[in-house]
Each structure stands twice: as C-alpha cells, then as structure tokens.
Amino acid sequence: MRHFWVVAGGDIDDAFACRMIEEDRPEVMIAADRGMDFFYRSQKIPDVIIGDFDSAKPASLSHFRAQGVRVETLSPMKDDTDTEAALRLAISMGAERITLLGAVGSRLDHVLANIELLGIGLTAGVPIVIADANNKIRMTDRSIAIRRQEQHGKYVSLLPYTPEVTHLTLRGFKYPLHDVTLRGFCSLGISNEIVEERAEIVFDGGILLVMETRD
C-alpha cells in the first residue's frame, strides 16, 4: 500500500516527525508551502513541494530548488489551501494512504479546514490521518477496531461529523455504548479509554471523527 506523507505549515514537533519518518518510511513526501521548512530544519529532502509560497522561508525554497526537488507553484489567488492542493496531488500520484502532519496549530480556522479535508480521502477511498505528537485524527464511514498496544495516546474521542451516527456500539472501552444514536451539540463521545486488548467502534450510518489523543 503506497504510503504518502503531506507536511503542512502548522505546528510540528520535529523529534516526533523525524521518528515517524524512520518508523513509517513513506514512499513519497510532499511539502505544502511552509511545510518545507520542517524538511529544511531536519536536513531531509521532500519529493515534491507545492504552494503559493506566501509563508515559507525563501531560504528553504532556494535550497530545495538547488537540490532539484520538483516544485509545483500555485497562484495565490486560488480557492483552495496549499494543504488541500497537496492532498489532491498525493491522490493523483497514486497514494493509497496519507499521513498529514503540520495540520494543527494556532489558526483554528486552518485546523477545522484540515479536519474537513479528511473527507477528500473518504470520498476517494484513500485513508488520511492527521498526526502530531498528541493527536491522531481520522474520519470514517464504517466500523473500525483499535488495538490498545497500537493506539496513539490514552484517550479515544468520537464526534459525529454528520448530524447523526446511528446504531453506535462500543466494545472494549471503559465507557461502553450499545445501539446509541450519536448526535451533534453533545460531548458524549469525549475522552473514552480502551480497557481490553482490542476495542471496537461499530455503527451503520453516518460519518464519525475518531480522535486518539494524549495530554
């Protein structure tokens, strides 16, 4: 399964990101505009850089141009974000799953937009996961399981992305649920914990945000 990384311009824990590169060994790494600054700091080379380059450091762009890295220049008068363009580029290049770093930061509008972009993967059949040192966020329209030894942090939180997620059942959690309809404007799904070796999130209608988090 071809694993692509997209690195955006939000907050990045460099040590965490470098460790993930060694563990994941992604086949293709795409820098979205200021995301290239991470590669420059870490002395790593992305496969592609894409953006309108209104926020990246000029030294980073000059360095990678000199290295012969493929650069896709976007117009600043565009409708989508650099991150969206990078994700769509990854899918067009044959990504079968995508890890998105640098998607969380102080700009909450960008954070919410990046969570929204998980739906691009859902529509295309290409799983996209937002990851940082404290969070792993994905969007799903089908039941999933999480192994406790593989989870990202201590907590699992569930938020309905559609107005309703129907017939939701949780097994293997500290706070189980059975055949519940999870609706918006409610914090019922926040801060659960896995207590068995394998936890199951089962539902049959709607779209769910699944967040594995640590403090």
Q: What is the pLDDT of residues 167-206, one digit of tens each?
A: 999 999 999 999 999 999 999 999 999 999 999 999 999 9
Strand-pair partners of 170: 177, 201
Per residue in 117-161, pLDDT (tens digit) is 999 999 999 999 999 999 999 999 999 999 999 999 999 999 999
User: What share of the chain has pLDDT > 90, as a percent?
Assistant: 93
Strand-pair partners of 210: 138, 158
Residues 55, 51: Cα–Cα separation, whole Å: 9
Report the CATH fold assignment for 144-213: Jelly Rolls (2.60.120)
Domain boundaries, the chain: 3-133, 144-213
From 116, 68, 121, 51, select the one nearest 92 (Cα to Cα).
121
Query: Right CATH number for 3-133 from 2.40.50.140, 3.40.50.10240, 3.40.50.300, 3.40.800.10?
Result: 3.40.50.10240
Report if pTM > 0.85.
Answer: yes
